[in-house]
Amino acid sequence: MERPQPDSMPQDLSEALKEATKEVHVQAENAEFMKNFQKGQVTRKGFKLVMASLYHIYVALEEQIERNKENPAYAPLYFPEELHRRAALERDMAFWYGPRWEDAIPYTQATRRYVRRLHEVGRKEPELLVAHAYTRYLGDLSGGQVLKKIAQKALDLPSSGEGVDFFTFPNVASATKFKQLYRSRMNTLEMTPEVRQRVIEEAKAAFLLNIQMLLPRRLPEGSPSRTFSPRRRSSDGSLPSALWWQRLPW
Ligand code: HEM
C-alpha cells in the first residue's frame, strides 16, 4: 500500500491544518500576553481587554456559523450546544464590566479587523469558515482548563467559575474525545485541492489575527511611534509588527 511521503501534505484536512499551523501556533504561544499568562502574570486590566475582544470575535464567528449551518461546507461542524461561546462570554462581560457592559466594553482595531474578516468569510467565502472554527474551538478545547485555573489564581477569582465561563464547556464531557469527533467531521468535508489550499492559508491567517488581537492595544492614528514606522525592519529581517497584515493572503 502506498504511504504518504514524510514531508508531503497529509491527506486528512485535520492533519494538514495541524501541520500547516505548527509554526504560527508556536508564535501564538510566544505572544507576550500568552507567555506572561502561563507564568501567572496577568492583570485584571489586560485580562478584561482580551475577554472583551473574544466576545466581539465569537459574536461574529457564531453569527456566520448560524448563517452557514446548513451549508455542506460547514454543516458537519455545527455543534452549538457543545461549542458556542457567546452566552458564556455575555456572562463574563457582565461580571467584568457590570450590567451596562454593552456600552462599556472596548473594541480594538485588531479585533475589528478580525471581526471584519469573519463576516467577509461567512458571507462571501463560507467554504473557509472551517478554518476559523478550527482555530478557535480546537484551541479553546485544548488549553481552556489550564488557562482558567491560572486566571482564577492570578486574579483571585471565585472558584465558582464567575468571570471565566468562557473556558468551561459544560456540554463536552471529554475534550479529547470531542476533538477526535471534530477532526473526523472536518475530514468528511468535500473540497477541491484549490479550496483545501485556501482553507489552510485561512487557518494561518486566523492565527495571525489572534496573535495581533493579543498584542497591546494600537496607538491612535497619528501618534508618534518609532515601533510602527513602516520602513523599519527587525534585526532578523522580518517585518515590523505594524506590517503584520501584509502577511495575510487577502
Ligand atoms: C499559551 C498559549 C498556548 C498554549 C500553551 C497552547 C497549547 C496547546 C496544546 C497543548 C494543544 C494540544 C495539542 C494536542 O492536543 O495535540 C493545543 C492545540 C491547539 N491550539 Fe493552542 N496553545 C496556546 C495558544 C493558542 C492560540 C492563541 C491559538 C489560536 C487562537 C491556539 C490554537 C490551537 C489549536 C487550533 C489547537 C488544535 C491543534 C490540532 O489538534 O489540530 N492555541 N494548544
Averaged over successive runs of 10 residues, the pLDDT of the chain (250 residues) comes to 60 97 97 94 96 98 98 98 98 98 97 98 98 98 90 94 96 97 98 98 98 77 38 42 54
- Which triple of cell numbers denotes residue 240? 515590523
Please return the burial class of 22, using the count of CB atoms within 10 Å of its CB with bins 0-12, 13-18 and 19+.
exposed
Our mutation pick for probing the ligand 1 site, out of 18, 23, 25, counting the most ligand atoms within 8 A of Cβ, is 25
Ligand 1 nearest atom to the CA of residue 38, by list position: 1
Query: What pLDDT score does 249 carry?
Result: 60
184 CA to middle of ligand 1, Å? 18
The response to whether residue 152 sits with its C-beta less than 6 Å from ligand 1 reads no
Comparing CA positions, the residue from 30, 39, 26 lying closest to residue 147 is 39
Nearest CA to ligand 1 atom 33: 139
Residue 68: Cβ within 10 Å count: 22
The response to whether residue 138 sits with its C-beta less than 6 Å from ligand 1 reads yes
The response to whether residue 28 sits with its C-beta less than 6 Å from ligand 1 reads yes
The response to whether residue 240 sits with its C-beta less than 6 Å from ligand 1 reads no
Query: What pLDDT score does 106 carry?
Result: 97
Comparing CA positions, the residue from 52, 188, 172 lying closest to residue 108 is 52
The response to whether residue 64 sits with its C-beta less than 6 Å from ligand 1 reads no
Distance CA 106, CA 21 (A): 29
What CA–CA distances, in Å, run from 132 to 16, 25, 27, 48? Answer: 15, 14, 17, 23
Please return the burial class of 36, using the count of CB atoms within 10 Å of its CB with bins 0-12, 13-18 and 19+.
middle
What CA–CA distances, in Å, run from 21 to 26, 139, 155, 166? Answer: 9, 12, 31, 23
What CA–CA distances, in Å, run from 217 to 29, 187, 214? Answer: 18, 37, 8
Query: What pLDDT score does 250 carry?
Result: 60
With beta carbons less than 8 A apart as the criterion, state whether 182 and 138 touch: yes
Percentages (nearest 5) of helix, strand, coil residues in the chain: 65, 0, 35
Our mutation pick for probing the ligand 1 site, out of 34, 142, 166, 185, counting the most ligand atoms within 8 A of Cβ, is 142
Query: What pLDDT score does 216 carry?
Result: 80
186 CA to middle of ligand 1, Å? 17
Nearest CA to ligand 1 atom 39: 18
Residue 35's φ and ψ, nearest 5 degrees, are -60, -45
Q: Report the predicted TM-score, pTM, of the whole model to 2 decimal places.
A: 0.88
